[in-house]
Amino acid sequence: MELTQRLLAGDRRALARLISLVENDGVAARAALAEVYPHTGCAHIIGVTGAPGVGKSSLVNELAKAYRRRRATVGIVAVDPTSPFSGGAILGDRVRMNDLAGDRGIFIRSMASRGSLGGLAAATADAIKLLDAAGFQKIFVETVGAGQTEVDITRAAHTTIVVAAPGMGDDIQAIKAGIMEIADLFAVNKADREGADAAAMTIQMMLDMNGSDAGRWTHHGLLADTIHPEASRASEVWKPSIRMTVATTGEGVDALVDCLEAHRAYLEMSGRLEERRRRMAAMEIEDILRRELLKGILGCVSSSDMRSLVDQVASRQLDPYGAAEMLLSKLA
């Protein structure tokens, strides 16, 4: 396939077109992904998440520039799990484009949920693969908020930065609620504002309270849980560190890059990188299975039969588990 060959040669247009292809989840996309897949696995994938307003986009921009100064190429995938309801530019994309435009060592792509069959997490994972195969060395995956979608998306990352900002009060509570476990690094951005030290102290306190075995409660999916009894074998433990940054001036950004590199080195030395790779593979296979299996069953049943089944459940003549069993029996 010509398009994939061009991608592997680093052609930006081919990359953009292939990402659109995976967003639309076609069969052509699948063939292309199979072709490029052997060429993936080199990139360092960095998830960046945090509540709206903490300055994630600006921070990612500065991190990208810092990496460019270190001669690394950078891909940025900005994910907006909201519906297309809002429209227009997402995640400050326009601003970003102006800021980083013209540097061929940087590739930026926004992904929005479109209610696509495949789901945003799957499309994002595929876009990351394409960037990886195209040779981008550092790939940032930026998501808004702290919901399950964001957690799912950042699970595709080797290193995850959780960004906070001072003076957001309840925001600390928001951090606690769900993403404490996924953080490898914390950045307290807007650190020139009042309350930055307090925010950092709160995070440190929560880290101390929770011990150093962050992540051990995280559920990685049926398949990953089945195949990874050894997930806790790595003996070295990473202690999430906290860095103060001011994205608007670039202050603290180089120190954060050093931390990112330290984490990457830790992953390699400790064997955790291999472990994360396998966990990511398991989660991805599981996601694909879920989708394909469901499509398979829906293909077996006429839409009028399906409608009548749903009507029976809605009118309480049949319970949902009973309905599911009837559909499952069509497969057997």
Could you give the C-alpha distances from 254 to 59, 77, 204, in angstroms and in order? 11, 21, 21
| Segment 194 to 233, residues that bind a copy of itself, using CB under 8 A | 210, 214, 217-219, 222-223, 226-227
Task: Between 9 and 294, name the residue whose CB sits nearer to a copy of itself.
Answer: 294
Question: Binder to a copy of itself among 13, 37, 248, 268 (CB under 8 A)?
Answer: 37
Piece in contact with a copy of itself (CB under 8 A), picked from 3-11, 69-77, 247-255, 286-294: 286-294
| Segment 144 to 163, residues that bind a copy of itself, using CB under 8 A | 144-152
Question: Binder to a copy of itself among 69, 115, 194, 329 (CB under 8 A)?
Answer: 115
Site size toward a copy of itself, by CB under 8 A: 88
Q: 159 burial class (0-12, 13-18, 19+ CB within 10 angstroms)?
A: buried
CB 139 within 8 A of CB 46: yes
Question: Binder to a copy of itself among 89, 97, 269, 324 (CB under 8 A)?
Answer: 324
Tracing tokens 């049949």 back to the chain, one arrives at 318
Q: How far is the CB of 9 from a copy of itself (least distance, A)?
A: 19
CB 113 within 8 A of CB 80: yes
Question: Binder to a copy of itself among 174, 234, 255, 262 (CB under 8 A)?
Answer: 174
Piece in contact with a copy of itself (CB under 8 A), picked from 172-180, 190-198, 235-243, 248-256: 172-180
Helix or strand or coil: residue 50?
strand
Task: Between 106 and 128, name the residue whose CB sits nearer to a copy of itself.
Answer: 128
Piece in contact with a copy of itself (CB under 8 A), picked from 96-104, 143-151, 154-162, 240-248: 143-151
Q: How far is the CB of 38 from a copy of itself (least distance, A)?
A: 5
Measure the CA–CA gap between 234 and 176, rounded to whole angstroms.
25
Number of helices (H) and strands (E) in the chain: give both, helices first: 14, 7
- 132 backbone dihedrals φ, ψ, rounded to 5°: -60, -50
Residues with Cβ within 8 Å of residue 88, at least 6 apart in sequence: none
Question: Binder to a copy of itself among 13, 94, 233, 307 (CB under 8 A)?
Answer: 307
Q: Which tokens in the block code for residue 122?
A: 């799957």
Q: How far is the CB of 66 from a copy of itself (least distance, A)?
A: 25
Q: Per CB under 8 A, does 234 bind a copy of itself?
A: no
Give how far the C-alpha of residue 81 lies from the chain's centroid of Cα atoms, to the nearest Å.
11
CB 144 within 8 A of CB 150: yes
| Segment 57 to 86, residues that bind a copy of itself, using CB under 8 A | 80-86
**In 109-120, which positions are buried (b, 16+ CB within 10 angstroms) versus exposed (e)?**
bbbbbeeeebbb
Question: Binder to a copy of itself among 40, 137, 204, 270 (CB under 8 A)?
Answer: 40
| Segment 246 to 285, residues that bind a copy of itself, using CB under 8 A | 274, 277-278, 280-282, 284-285
Which H or E element spans position 185? strand 185-188
Q: How far is the CB of 219 from a copy of itself (least distance, A)?
A: 3
Q: How far is the CB of 101 from a copy of itself (least distance, A)?
A: 25
Tracing tokens 């997402």 back to the chain, one arrives at 90
Nearest partner of 64 among 48, 41, 53, judged by Cα: 48
CB 164 within 8 A of CB 171: yes
Q: Per CB under 8 A, does 38 bind a copy of itself?
A: yes
CB 36 within 8 A of CB 144: no
Question: Binder to a copy of itself among 3, 15, 19, 33 (CB under 8 A)?
Answer: 33
Piece in contact with a copy of itself (CB under 8 A), picked from 70-78, 99-107, 235-243, 289-297: 289-297
Q: How far is the CB of 284 from a copy of itself (least distance, A)?
A: 4
- 169 backbone dihedrals φ, ψ, rounded to 5°: 55, -100
Q: Per CB under 8 A, does 316 bind a copy of itself?
A: yes
